[in-house]
């Protein structure tokens, strides 16, 4: 009887958590669609005053796609929070603390990423690639950006940034059970795995795979470098620590 009562209680709790996640996701989509033009203006680089559209429904579906991407991105945090609240009574204290630290770190990481780094990357990439259209002198070339194409490039950049935190988390987890020599020995396999992941996440073209696979390789190399620097720092701390006399030897010296 008690098992049946507990099962009914957990099913009700699960329904509540799913309802909260669905309500939060719907509210995020309605809010993002209400301020869709402001979001487009926020994502515009400096110096761009207009877009070109060639389809009758292109603007509508572009707005819909933008709001869907933003809603999915922010709803992940809501879903993970509800999962934590649902699993918290059945977790050990160290498990709940580890999950909460990962969740808080992920939220802070992505908030800082999309608040500070993402707008700066948009400006840098825009200035870098628009210089080619301005310096093209053989013929009169006029650059007219399309709204849908611009959003596709932002989606590719978003893929690169969104997988950064899971990659760092997985590398730190693997680092606990391996050593530096193994990472260096199997570096080629890690490169192959990075481009395999990029092939599944991007369209079938080489440029998109390089744009996603190259940051994964950079994360791998940065992790190796940070690992070596951290171990060297710990060794220096051990060398600089003063040697304390042992209590037993000190007592023997006094008796003698």
pLDDT in tens, 223-240: 888 877 766 666 666 665
Same domain, 142 and 176: no
How far, in Å, CA of 233 to CA of 105, rounded? 24
Whether 219 maps to a domain, the answer reads yes
Axis crossing angle, helix 164-175 with helix 93-112, rounded to the nearest 10 = 140
Same domain, 113 and 237: no
- Across all residues in the chain, what is the average pLDDT? 79
How far, in Å, CA of 7 to CA of 23, rounded? 24
Inform me whether the pLDDT recorded for 30 exceeds 90.
yes
How far, in Å, CA of 110 to CA of 163, rounded? 11
Q: Provide CB contacts within 8 A for 102, sequence distance 6+.
A: 169
Same domain, 123 and 176: no
- Host domain of residue 225: 163-241
Start-to-end CA span in the chain (Å) = 73
Same domain, 93 and 175: no
How buried is 91 (Cβ within 10 angstroms: 0-12 exposed, 13-18 middle, 19+ buried)?
A: middle
Same domain, 142 and 115: yes
Mean pLDDT of 132-151: 71
Mean pLDDT of 99-125: 84
How far, in Å, CA of 51 to CA of 132, rounded? 19
Same domain, 167 and 118: no
Integer angstrom CA distances of residue 134 from 22, 45, 49, 127, 147? 47, 16, 16, 10, 20
Same domain, 101 and 191: no
For the ranges 60-69, 87-96, 202-211, the lowest mean pLDDT is seen at 202-211
Whether 151 maps to a domain, the answer reads no
Same domain, 116 and 200: no
Q: For residue 21, what pLDDT is reported?
A: 92
Inform me whether the pLDDT recorded for 29 exceeds 90.
yes
pLDDT digits (tens, 9 = 90+) for 166-189: 887 887 788 777 777 888 888 888
In the DSSP assignment, the letter for residue 88 is G
Same domain, 137 and 169: no
Domain boundary residue, one of 116, 146, 176: 146
Integer angstrom CA distances of residue 90 from 4, 6, 72, 100? 17, 12, 28, 14
Same domain, 134 and 219: no
Whether 250 maps to a domain, the answer reads no
Same domain, 184 and 116: no
How far, in Å, CA of 165 to CA of 105, rounded? 9
Whether 213 maps to a domain, the answer reads yes
Our count of domains for the chain comes to: 2
Rg (CA), the chain: 26
Same domain, 115 and 168: no
Whether 157 maps to a domain, the answer reads no
Axis crossing angle, helix 58-87 with helix 147-162, rounded to the nearest 10 = 20
Whether 124 maps to a domain, the answer reads yes
Mean pLDDT of 142-154: 79
Mean pLDDT of 22-40: 90
Whether 251 maps to a domain, the answer reads no
């Amino acid at each position: 009887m008690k098992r049946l009562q507990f099962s009914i209680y957990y099913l009700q709790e699960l329904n509540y958590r799913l309802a909260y996640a669905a309500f939060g996701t719907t509210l995020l989509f309605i809010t993002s669609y209400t301020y869709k033009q402001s979001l487009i203006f926020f994502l515009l680089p400096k110096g761009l005053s207009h877009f070109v559209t060639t389809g009758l429904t292109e603007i509508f579906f572009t707005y819909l796609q933008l709001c869907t991407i933003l809603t999915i991105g922010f709803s992940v945090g809501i879903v993970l929070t509800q999962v934590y609240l649902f699993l918290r009574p059945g977790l050990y204290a160290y498990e709940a603390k580890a999950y909460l630290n990962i969740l808080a770190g992920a939220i802070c990481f992505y908030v800082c990423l999309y608040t500070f780094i993402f707008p700066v990357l948009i400006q840098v990439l825009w200035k870098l690639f628009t210089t080619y259209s301005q310096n093209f002198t053989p013929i009169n070339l006029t650059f007219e950006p399309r709204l849908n194409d611009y959003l596709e490039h932002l989606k590719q950049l978003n893929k690169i940034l969104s997988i950064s935190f899971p990659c760092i988390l997985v590398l730190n987890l693997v680092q606990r059970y391996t050593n530096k020599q193994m990472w260096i020995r199997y570096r080629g396999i890690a490169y192959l795995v990075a481009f395999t992941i990029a092939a599944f996440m991007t369209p079938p073209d080489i440029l998109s795979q390089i744009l996603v696979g190259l940051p994964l390789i950079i994360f791998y190399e940065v992790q190796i470098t940070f690992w070596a620097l951290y171990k060297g720092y710990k060794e220096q701390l051990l060398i600089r620590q003063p040697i304390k006399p042992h209590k037993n030897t000190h007592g023997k010296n006094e008796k003698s």
